[in-house]
Structure 1
Amino acid sequence: MKKLIPLLILTILFSCNNQAQTNPKQEALKTATPVSVPLEDGMAKAYFASGCFWCVEAIYESVKGVDEVINGYAGGFTKNPTYEQSNTGRTGHAEAVEVIYNPEIVSFETLVDVYFASQNPTQANGQGPDRGSQYRSILFFQNDDQKKIITQKKKALAEKLNATVAAEVYPFQKFWIGEDYHQNYEKLHPENPYIQNVSIPRLNKFKAKMPELLKDKH
């Protein structure tokens, strides 16, 4: 009987997680009409999920033309998600970033290049040590032009690697801003062990790969 109880618990947990991933509301998001975010003071916004948002925030903020990056949640069906809820993997959301950029300086196409150059493109449901659907990779498009850019680059990368590229492609719907303590995390907590051992090495790996895109040091 003791052997059966853990098995039963695992079965229930698997069923719950499986149900979360096949939720009809979640499936509907994949074919929804994309929401276009208008320019504001000449600045555009783009949305990406690629593992822990602390890492992704630092990467995009190192790129010329990017004004600010905000951490939050996107890609799911749950309204007003919290960090704790997102971590259950049952909200449908992934940790994501809102990249506020000047399209006169950096293009959406280049931001997609940054995306693929700064991750392990074949890792499904996570990046590095962060595992689970809340850390999965998603590129969000706001119109047909962006969708075309994403799908073409994803296809080209898959052919180059001769492997499946794990990132999902979603029509953008809504970005939920994360808690204040998650913002500018790498800058504010440089001594944090995770920042030291995961975020900074990932950032430095990207910098070495695409130095021509980096902001000038003052």
Structure 2
Amino acid sequence: MKRLMLYVVGIMLCYSCANGQTSRTDFAVVAKPAAGEEVATFGGGCFWSMSEALSELKGVNKVISGYAGGTKVNPSYQDVCTNTTGHAEVVQVYYNPKVISYPTLAEAFFFAHDPTTLNRQGPDEGTDYRSIVFYRTPQEKTMLEQAAAKVNASKHYNGKVVTEVKPFKVFYPAEKYHQGYYKTHMDNPYIAGVSEPKVKKFENAMRPYLKDEYKK
């Protein structure tokens, strides 16, 4: 569904690159962590809703939408949509570990999407929408596995968690128009019909951890 809605945008981007040159100025920039910040990378379907959900948590300072898990260097949205790059839509989260712990962030990730559906989130289907999370240390891997086990034991979902847990290698930021897309496109039918219900469900599940402005 989302791909159909971005078809026109894709045509425009392809036209602008018709001369064979791809401008990286159309893409966001990977930020360096500030002093005291740590970084986590999660993929759970469309990054529009995942970015919005995790940005609402206390202790989360910044979220960048992008691509990870594949082989193509500097992929575009159109590249990833082909399901030939190995990349998934992901978000890179910059957070203060003194305010929100990694286990809590991992728990939030599992509530921000359905981690039991293989290569699919709602109407979005394909490996680029798969549930995937990247660890940077052996300790993070253990915490992710524990979080997944906790979700399975809770019976919150009908199925079992199928999230890929992989070592982090590289994150490629997505195009600038994807950044903060949720808040600036609330009139988009996809946002209203697919993304917003996911975010509202997330807010109900993680209410104690939300920033004050999202507790209303």
- Decide: shared fold, TM above 0.5: yes
**How far has the Cα of 1:153 moved from its partner?**
1.7
Question: TM-score normalised to the size of structure 2?
Answer: 0.80
Match of 1:41 in 2: 35
- From 167, 171, 182, the equivalent of 1:171 is 167
1:88 match: 82
Change (3 A) 1:39 1:72: closer
Task: Report how many residues are paired.
Answer: 182
Root mean square deviation, CA, Å: 1.7
Equivalent residue in structure 1 for 2:64, among 58, 67, 70: 70
1:83-135 CA-partner distances (Å, limit 9, x unpaired): 00000111000000000111110111111000111221211102111110000
Question: What displacement does 1:159 show?
Answer: 3.7
Query: Which of the residues 51, 67, 78 maps onto 1:57?
Result: 51
8 Å Cα contact 1:38/1:44 also seen in 2: no
Deviation at 1:38, TM superposition (A): 8.4
Q: Where do 5+ consecutive residues of structure 1 fail to align?
A: 1-36
> Counterpart of 1:48 in structure 2: which amino acid?
F
Q: Does 1:183 align with 2:179?
A: yes
Of structures 1 and 2, the larger Rg is shown by 1
Q: Deviations over 1:42-84 (max 9, x none)?
A: 1111000000000100100111110111000001111111100
- Is the Cα contact below 8 Å between 2:60 and 2:95 reproduced in 1? yes
Please report how far the alpha carbon of residue 166 of structure 1 lies from its aligned counterpart in structure 2 after TM superposition: 1.3
Aligned to 1:101: 95
Q: Secondary structure at the match of 1:77?
A: coil
Change (3 A) 1:186 1:163: closer
Alignment partner of 1:213 is 2:204: no
**1:193 to 2:182 alignment:** no
- Do 1:59 and 1:206's aligned partners in 2 also have CA atoms closer than 8 Å? yes
Contact 2:33 2:94 in 1 (8 A): no
Distance in 2 (CA, whole Å) between partners of 1:156 and 1:213 is 18
After superposition, give the CA deviation of every residue in 1:8-57 in whole Å (9 maximum; x if it has no partner).
xxxxxxxxxxxxxxxxxxxxxxxxxxxxx985321111000000000100
- For structure 2, which runs of at least 5 residues remain unmatched after alignment? 1-30
Are residue 138 (structure 1) and residue 129 (structure 2) matched? no
Provide TM-score, normalisation by structure 1.
0.79
